[in-house]
Amino acid sequence: MDLDSRAKAILTANDRGGYTVPNGRVYPFQWNWDSAFVALGFDAFDRERAWTEVETLFKAQWDDGFLPHIVFWKDDPGYFPGPSVWATGHDPVTSGITQPPVAATVVRKLWESAHAAGQGDAFRARLEALFPKLLAWHRWFRDVRDPDKRGVVVAMHPWETGRDNSPEWDAPGEPIDVSNVGDYVRRDTSHLDAKMRPTKLEYDRYLALVQWGRARGWDHAEIARTNPFQVADVGMSMILLRANRDLLWLAEELGRDADAAEIDAIIATAEAGIDWLWDEDRHCWCSRDRLTGKHSGFVTSASFLSFYAGLHDPAKDAGMLTHFERIGARVPCLMPSLDPDDPGFQMIRYWRGPVWAVVNYMIGTGLTECGYDAQGERVRRNTAELMEKNGFYEAYSPIDGTGSGGDDFSWTAAIWLAWAR
């Protein structure tokens, strides 16, 4: 079977009727940013199904705009922690944390594609229905997750960042008390080699933070005030800035002037404040602990999302391009999730080395949009090569292309269809 057909077959097989699971065995629920990327993949062959993916996700939105990172439409014993551990009390049952807000950017793409195909009239009402939901989620970030008004996103859990075990969370995770976590049985390591997954200490921290939120009835304002882990995530912050630019474009498209002015102000706050995430010592964008003020100092794949965010600062761009060239000379396949020159680099351990197709898509798109065509094309080509050589894995070693994590992975297949091929 050719790669296009295999990618479509994966999305079709992982379709549970209105939503798509990332991987049937390892992740049997709907995940937030996975679904948004999956919609881009469906859009290559089934426009109707693409919109439904995003609409189903937003059916799980809470009244205050919060959009959960997992929606448990059906229970499944194959994943831990499941709905009874989160105990958010919402219908449908969801987790209590969010994930990187890529949805507005995806919806703009879906809309442009419908429009270009002469189907604007058929999809306009669906865009009008989604717009206020996207705006409500972005307002939630502004009001609940940016306490210092820097235009960044302060994550309350490593899982929110989508980069679970990035070393960026090691030092900020130290104050998390894991002494009362109790016994639990992980399911990830029964599906996958433990060498590819986070450690026991990391899982203890993940669980302690879930217990923290649950004990506060998932009151996000209270959690934001008291949580022992509060990190301004460079990935989410860049992604939200980009998403706000795309939401502004949609507001203008729909003639929603007051909303456009409001979004403009959100963007202005970010443009004025996001430099807080620039580490002048390491000369890179990176996450920063809100509680200690310390930069992580790590060059990760998320550091390269400044281009995607539409930031144009010649000195910082030059700094990031220098890292790009250095890393590009060290590994055959960009972009490793951690700098290969870092002593903690591990080529198949999740977010400490492996390449992720969705991050590459954002990095490559951003570089090309900013006029760095050769670099953008290198990222796209490397992404395609990994898939051509090894199929559609969750992630890949940047050294030898070995698949890491689950196979037949939805968002990887989607990125093939939407961009890499």
Residue closer to ligand 9WN, measured from CB, 197 or 290: 197
Is 31 a binding residue for ligand 9WN by CB under 6 A? The answer is yes
Q: Which among 164, 275, 317, 407 is annotated as catalytic?
A: 164
Phi and psi torsions of 154, nearest 5°: -90, 115
Element holding 70 (H helix, E strand): strand 70-71
Is 22 a binding residue for ligand 9WN by CB under 6 A? The answer is yes
Phi and psi torsions of 355, nearest 5°: -90, 135
Is 203 a binding residue for ligand 9WN by CB under 6 A? The answer is no
CB of 161 to ligand 9WN, least distance (A): 8
CB of 351 to ligand 9WN, least distance (A): 7
Residue closer to ligand 9WN, measured from CB, 67 or 250: 67
In terms of DSSP bridges, do strands 231-232 and 154-155 run parallel, antiparallel, or are they unpaired? antiparallel
Measure the CA–CA gap between 160 and 69, rounded to whole angstroms: 7
DSSP per residue, 187-213: SHHHHS-GGGS--HHHHHHHHHHHHHH
Q: Which among 259, 289, 394, 408 is annotated as catalytic?
A: 394
Q: Going by C-beta distance under 8 Å and a sequence separation of 6 or more, which residues neighbour residue 363?
A: 301, 304, 305, 307, 308, 334, 335, 379
Residue closer to ligand 9WN, measured from CB, 133 or 197: 197
Residue closer to ligand 9WN, measured from CB, 186 or 294: 186
Measure the CA–CA gap between 43 and 31, rounded to whole angstroms: 18
Residue closer to ligand 9WN, measured from CB, 220 or 256: 220
Environment class of residue 179 by beta-carbon count within 10 Å: exposed (0-12), middle (13-18) or buried (19+)? exposed
Residue closer to ligand 9WN, measured from CB, 24 or 332: 24
Is 37 a binding residue for ligand 9WN by CB under 6 A? The answer is no
Answer for which of 34, 246, 339, 408 binds ligand 9WN (CB under 6 A) is 34
Q: Which residues of 390-401 are buried (b: 16+ CB within 10 A; e: fewer)?
A: bbbbbbbbbbeb
Q: Please state at what angle helix 103-116 crosses helix 234-253, rounded to 10 degrees.
A: 40
On whether the CB atoms of residues 184 and 80 are closer than 8 A, the answer is: yes
Position 44, amino acid: A
Residue closer to ligand 9WN, measured from CB, 67 or 127: 67
Answer for which of 51, 66, 159, 203 binds ligand 9WN (CB under 6 A) is 159
Respond yes or no: is residue 193 known to be catalytic.
Answer: no
Respond yes or no: is residue 55 known to be catalytic.
Answer: no
Question: Per-residue x/- mask for ligand 9WN, residues 385 to 404, rule CB under 6 A?
Answer: --------------------
Q: Among 27-35, 83-91, 278-286, 326-334, which window interacts with ligand 9WN (CB under 6 A)? A: 27-35
The residue count for binding ligand 9WN (CB under 6 A) is: 10
On whether the CB atoms of residues 226 and 100 are closer than 8 A, the answer is: no
Answer for which of 19, 27, 37, 324 binds ligand 9WN (CB under 6 A) is 27
On whether the CB atoms of residues 22 and 14 are closer than 8 A, the answer is: yes
Answer for which of 65, 68, 101, 162 binds ligand 9WN (CB under 6 A) is 162
Is 160 a binding residue for ligand 9WN by CB under 6 A? The answer is no
Answer for which of 33, 62, 111, 212 binds ligand 9WN (CB under 6 A) is 33
* Sign of the torsion formed by the C-alpha atoms of 373, 374, 377 and 379: negative
Residue ranges that bind ligand 9WN, judged by CB under 6 A: 22, 27, 31, 33-34, 69, 159, 162, 164, 188
Active-site positions?
Answer: 164, 394
